[in-house]
Chains A and B, each alone.
Chain A
Amino acid sequence: MHKFINMKKYKYLISRRITQIAILFLFFAGNAFGWKILRGNLSSAKAFDAVPLSDPFAVLQLTSTGTVLAQDAILGSIIILVFYAVIGGRIFCGWVCPVNMVTDAANKLRKILGMDKQQRAMEIARGVRYWVIGLSLALSAVLGVAAFEWISPIGALHRGIIYGMGFGWAFVAVVFLFDLFAVKNGFCGHVCPLGGFYALAGRFGFLRVGYNKDKCTLCMKCTDICPEKQVLHMVGKQSGAVLSGECINCGRCVEVCNDDAVNFRNIYSN
């Protein structure tokens, strides 16, 4: 019985890990064994040898260099953008991006080492990511390459896993150490422009976390576990849904709530 309850407490976490690893594995198998389910990587891919998929932020950066990209990349980016915009939140960040596993690990280690209790060594604003979006596009235009893709630890990680890592692990290690020693949820929650991009894109999607004040006992476990605490500003104040696009839809708040006060819901239906 005890085991069973525990499993239920981690159902989204486990599903997320399965999704993240499965997607990476399908890409890996596409390269290594010639499977045709997913080929390419998270920057651009082809599903079932038919459907093009592309990272819309990468396409935006390449386009801002003044390049007119081929049809597949454009079409693929629209498919991905519409998909994430309809679902809502930063579902990419919580369920697809492999860096999520790295930063979650850093976060876990912070907790084990008790670093959260100490004063933060450094504090940066959540809005930095939107500046980095602007900077990415400006630098892409000036330098003639997709600027964020050039330094992206996300790219380094998924490219590395699929095609060979090399020194790319250093990019990932920087993120891990930054999140561990400098700022809690530092990369995914403050800096990453791709996260910022999906926060803007997922603002109006349907699948959001809903909060019910009547059931809430103010234990605040949800805000403790949340990597984007600011989105749960309504907890203890009023019922309602998380409307900020910055929520990564990871569902940790839903899992930790013992009072059934936090749940996923379709905000467009009653």
Chain B
Amino acid sequence: MQGRGRPARMMTETTIGRDDPAPANRTNMMPERRDFLIKTVKSLGLATAGGLEWSGFIEEGKSAPLVLRPPGAVPEKQFIASCIKCGMCVEACPYDALILAKPEDDKPIGTPYFTARTSPCRMCKDIPCVPPCPSGALDKTLVSEKGENGALVLNINLAKMGLAVIDRETCIAYSGIQCDACYRACPLIDKAITVEYTRIERTGKHAMLAPAVHSNACTGCGVCEKACVTQKASIFILPRELAMGKSSIRYVKGWESRDEERLKDVKEDVKTKTPRSGQSPVDYLNQEEF
């Protein structure tokens, strides 16, 4: 603020100076001052113009939401604020699945990503891509669990790179064809993808072996998307924040013994408040209109 205040004050001085009939001031002081003033305004103006153009370019790149990050990646917003674009995760990937985004890839430039349909994450047990990360954009603790002696042990099954989503309209299993390519390919078979056996109502006598994805187990590795036989994959990975909804903490599954424990950590008031909720149900029953 200080830097911006000064030139403004000097501007008034210059304006006054120009109307001032005394010539001595003008010849000695003004050209230098005016020069300085013009230069400062020019610099500020150019910095603003450049800054706006620059931030527009960045904002456009940032707004590309369809990006699948390596395992252990911190949430996207935090990820692009900490990734230093060194490519050491890319180097470590033994399957060359990870790529550093080029300008034309429509992803935040220079950051690592993978494309499930071409080369999914193979879910290496030792997760070689995560430990080399120097900046913390890939966080080991997100893909580790406590081992027997209390030390953290890497476990790729904890990764949450995305979530597989099925298009039932194009998935041929949902049309009654016996395809279980995704189910068989899934590294967490019977956990992340299960097959639901149902009857095809249309014929009344055929079975349908329909795949279903379970978000609590799916790591978003994308092997299913790669395996899918339809022309364009009918099971595909989306970033979890795009693929998943969120229900309020109010909805407790009473039939799940531990679900209520979630409420213990909740600090906010989760009680419903509407104009009517203040009254007791009995008042409502006693009202005239009823």
Contact = CB atoms under 8 A, between A and B. Distances in A.
B84 A73 contact: yes
A139 interface: yes
A135 B80 CA distance: 19
B58 A167 contact: no
Contact of B133 (A41, A70, A160, A168): A70
A151 B135 CA distance: 20
A147 B84 contact: no
B29 interface: no
Chain B interface category by residue count:
35 or more
Contacts of B88: 39-40, 44-46
A131 interface: yes
A246 to B, nearest CB: 18
Contact of A149 (B47, B57, B85): B85
Contacts of A207: none
B104 A167 contact: yes
Interface residues of A, number: 53
B90 A31 contact: yes
- Give the dominant DSSP class at A's interface: helix
B55 A142 contact: yes
Contact of B86 (A40, A143, A145, A151): A40
B26 to A, nearest CB: 26
A44 B135 contact: yes
Nearest to B108: A145
Contact of A135 (B54, B100, B108, B132): B54
A52 interface: yes
Contacts of A151: 54, 57-58
B78 A67 contact: yes
Contacts of A105: none
Contacts of B136: 67-70, 73
A138 B3 CA distance: 15
Given A41-B86, A44-B84, A150 B61 contact: yes
B104 A145 contact: no
Choose among B50, B105, B134 the residue with the greatest number of A CB atoms under 10 Å from its CB.
B134
B178 interface: no
A170 B57 CA distance: 15
Contacts of A144: 62, 77, 80-81
A159 B101 CA distance: 10
Interface in B25-79: 43, 47, 50-51, 54-55, 57-59, 61-62, 77-78
A25 interface: no
Contact of B47 (A54, A70, A131): A131
Interface of B: 43, 47, 50-51, 54-55, 57-59, 61-62, 77-78, 80-82, 84-88, 90-91, 99-100, 102-105, 108-110, 132-136
